[in-house]
Structure 1
Amino acid sequence: MKVGLQASLSDANLDVAQVSSQRQLAISMSAIAASAGRTAPLNLCLILDHSGSMNGRPMETVKQAALKIVDSLSPGDRLSVVVFDHKAKVLVPNQVIDNPAGLKNEISRLKTSGGTCIDEGMRLGIEELAKAKKDTISQAFLLTDGENEHGDNDRCLKLAHLAAEYNLTLNTLGFGDHWNQDILEQIADAGGGALTYIQTPEDALLEFTRLFSRVQSVGLTNAYLLLRMMPGVRLAELKPVAQVVPETVELQPIQEAGQVSVRLGDLMVDSPRVVLANLYASQLPVGRHPLVQVQVRYDDPAQNLESVLSDPVIVEANVVTTFQPAPDPQVQQHVLALGKYRQTQIAEQKLQQGDRAGAATMLQSAAKTALQMGDQTAATVLQENATRLQEGEELSESDRKKTRIVSKTTLQ
């Protein structure tokens, strides 16, 4: 399996008269399969909240979704199940799927009780995944409906970073309206996974299935984007790199022996990750000039290969005497997606500070950005919430969670 790698500047022309030029570089990366179908086995851990607040329909629908996932696993795949209330336990130890009926019986018998301790569930889940992480695609689905009342949120984030170091991906699913979107987003971002909102019990099966389809499309793991800037080219100092597809995530670049590396995690087949890098180029003479070399380092679990390097891509700019802006429309879409997310983040900060008018103004700006992108769903949610604030209403927990989800993703 190889990497599909493409890179485009927001405008490939530079003005010879400019002392410094700013450009956004959009880098698209996906796994290219040599043959159809997933070749590396899946190593999946379900980390499920079974606290008392999950009683009734929520627990039943989550069990139904988990049972469907068991049915969807392929021969050779591995499953473990960890459950937590105010403490955690391993319900199904990590094992190859050779007795689905026995696993399903264990899941079906799950009852609700107690409070919520997310970090203990994460700790046991990471331990179970680590038992079979070699030459597999290791994924956790962490589901909770509440605040981490018996746990430590800082420990959650440390465990998420530890999981990424182990090449384990953490996906988070918030059920209902009383979970902490800040913590679950930070866990998913640090763990290289997706944040999912299950608004009602009836949505559980659909959202689990959607997330399972995503992990089934993973072909390569532990991917790092490598950027080698040419002389006179540098990254912006503030928030220089962000992922914008499949969801928006602020990324942390690391200086590494003459280049910058950024961890991406998994690469999917036919579903690219797109990263935006904010570059500054010093004045250059007329003609074509290389600005940056782009490469990806990755693991291929199906071939038992680690730290494989893709072929490099050299990004060039054309320096001209008569400059006419020629923005790349696809890169502009990515720039708008990042703008929508950052505007919404500012709105949430203002709301926390008690600045309702400022929050409403930023939500309106984010709604306009979403409209420019053609993201009607986000535009509607963001504008409705801006209007509520302007009319003196409070945003419900559901409103806040919808805002977070539409700011991170594009739902057209």
Structure 2
Amino acid sequence: MTAAEISVDRDVVGVGREFAVAIRTTPLAAAPPLSGPGAAYVIALDASPSMSWPAEKDGETSRWRLAVQAVVELVRQLPPGDRIGLVAFDHQARPLVVDRPVSELRGTLEAVLGNESPPPYGGTNIEEALETSYRMLANSPAPSRRVILFSDGDPNTGVTTAEGLAAPAQRAAQHDVYTDTIGMGADADVDLLLALSVGGGCGHVSSKEGARERVTEIAARLARWGQNVAAPGGELDVEVHPFFPVAGVYQLVPTRRRLEVSVRKGDGGGQRLVIPLGAVGAGDQQPLFVLRLTAPDRVVRRRVDIVEATGSLRGTNGGALGKAVGSVQGVAEQESAPRLDRLMAEIDAIDTEARIARRLNETEPSRYDEVYREAIEEAQSRGLDELAGTYEASLDGLRHGQAPGDVRNEQRATSSTSKTSANRLLQARPELDPGLVARGGGRESRADRADRLRRSRPDDGWGEDSETEDRRG
């Protein structure tokens, strides 16, 4: 039976300190072969006037031709039985191809798209492009269904806000249709594209030398993400002990982002969260989520069950997930060293990157270099060397004349994509001295311990046999 799986990053947590709890499913077997398509895609191509601009500095290839190249490369890498739809959009959306097998399109796709070209004027209606694409996939029997959006600018027709455009993407994800977004050039609104990539990823192609190689790399990644899906969707139902407040919910694999998940009061008095799983790959290709929790301001000298997780999967591997329980061996003044030391570093990098992005939004592009220098120092001071490296690459791009918008978009898209697997993030260090629990609050005499237990409240939430010591004030 497939079950939830919980990993706490350390055995003993520190009084009032934050720590990380990872949640995923146990490995799923590949779904049995189907008579129909394994995956269905609708590709929405921005055909607004700016897509005719050069895709590479001092180059002749337009953004439109580069997007067409990406679609051709994607189709080349997909299995012949997968299904493809194509939508071109400017101020309105126009279906060009509806539910055709990959095998039929491989030799004709460039001819189909060759008849299209960006008009000399017009708007950018991402809302209609998304709604049209989702309708085209609504009745597909494929277990993996994805919309891939290519756009180079801000929407200026229909709904234009990130919140408003994310709403249909979120509704589609509830029906296991996920959205990948690709920004083209310096004018792409990567923050908006990140908001739209519900259950999917976000990439960016800068207008610089090497853009063709970059778009080929993105196409290969998109082809991989749509394949080998063991379950098209599901949810994790998580309950957290009421004395360990939830400070944040994150996804680390396959994308890296902080999630907006509501925390409600559970039936047992704890904190209840429902986390959408998205598509679940076979084997070790499960998505990985992490909770940032805060320990209580008191010493606890006993094992505490802090997180329970169940849930469900849909599709041929569907059904209820077996329950998992995550525990700590106690709460002490001196916490144990984390065995899963990369979890807190990863979520710290996500939060740090979000702060730097807000700073860039408030800064004139001519001063981006100042922000990136400060960002490098901040990331290095926090031990986030990989994040510091992305800012160093951004600073180098500015020095070589790359457009500030391109630099910013490329860095944000790069940081949003996981570069490792869940298994590597969950590789544990050797377990350390469990005696920290006994030593956590300092030794006490039997008489002192008996007196403290007599004075403890029986309804304090830890149970009748709890051994806690308040460290507040």
Distance 2:30 2:170 in 1: 31
Match of 2:231 among 197, 220, 235: 220
Q: Relative to 1, partners in 2 of residues 1:174 and 1:322: Cα closer, same or farther, differing over 3 Å?
A: closer
| Aligned residue type for 1:48 | L
Q: What corresponds to 1:315 in structure 2?
A: 326
Match of 1:177 among 180, 186, 191: 186
Q: Deviations over 1:254-297 (max 9, x none)?
A: 33853311223122343443322122344464222211112342
Percent identity among equivalent residues?
19
Q: What corresponds to 2:79 in structure 1?
A: 74
SS at match of 1:400: helix
Are 1:42 and 1:78, in contact at CA under 8 Å, matched by a contact in 2?
yes
1:347 aligns with 2:352: no
Are 2:244 and 2:293, in contact at CA under 8 Å, matched by a contact in 1?
yes
| Aligned residue type for 1:57 | S
Are 1:344 and 1:366, in contact at CA under 8 Å, matched by a contact in 2?
no
Q: Relative to 1, partners in 2 of residues 1:35 and 1:169: Cα closer, same or farther, differing over 3 Å?
A: closer
Are 1:49 and 1:144, in contact at CA under 8 Å, matched by a contact in 2?
yes
TM value normalised by structure 1: 0.82
Q: What corresponds to 1:41 in structure 2?
A: 38
Q: What corresponds to 1:22 in structure 2?
A: 18
1:54 aligns with 2:12: no
Q: What corresponds to 1:262 in structure 2?
A: 275
Q: CA deviation at 1:169?
A: 0.2
Distance 1:197 1:369 in 2: 28
346-355 or 153-162, which deviates more: 346-355
Q: What corresponds to 2:11 in structure 1?
A: 12
Match of 2:156 among 146, 149, 157: 149
SS at match of 1:107: helix
SS at match of 2:329: strand
Q: CA deviation at 1:409?
A: 3.6
Q: CA deviation at 1:87?
A: 1.4
Match of 1:138 among 121, 145, 157: 145
162-171 or 327-336, which deviates more: 327-336
SS at match of 1:311: strand
Q: Relative to 1, partners in 2 of residues 1:230 and 1:256: Cα closer, same or farther, differing over 3 Å?
A: closer
Q: CA deviation at 1:141?
A: 0.6
Distance 1:172 1:312 in 2: 34
Q: Relative to 1, partners in 2 of residues 1:349 and 1:178: Cα closer, same or farther, differing over 3 Å?
A: closer
SS at match of 1:152: coil
Q: Deviations over 1:30-58 (max 9, x none)?
A: 75334899997101111111223223533
Distance 2:386 2:402 in 1: 28
Match of 1:273 among 287, 295, 298: 287
Any unmatched runs of 5+ in structure 2?
53-60, 421-473
TM value normalised by structure 2: 0.72
Match of 2:170 among 152, 157, 161: 161
1:292 aligns with 2:291: no
Q: What corresponds to 1:405 in structure 2?
A: 413
Are 2:206 and 2:407, in contact at CA under 8 Å, matched by a contact in 1?
no
Q: CA deviation at 1:219?
A: 2.7
Any unmatched runs of 5+ in structure 1?
none
Distance 1:394 1:62 in 2: 20
Distance 2:388 2:280 in 1: 28
Q: Relative to 1, partners in 2 of residues 1:256 and 1:94: Cα closer, same or farther, differing over 3 Å?
A: farther
Q: Relative to 1, partners in 2 of residues 1:164 and 1:366: Cα closer, same or farther, differing over 3 Å?
A: farther
| Aligned residue type for 1:180 | D
Distance 1:266 1:108 in 2: 33
325-334 or 140-149, which deviates more: 325-334
> Of Structure 1 and Structure 2, which has the larger fraction of its residues in strand?
1
Match of 2:253 among 205, 228, 245: 245
Q: How many equivalent residue pairs? A: 393
1:338 aligns with 2:350: yes
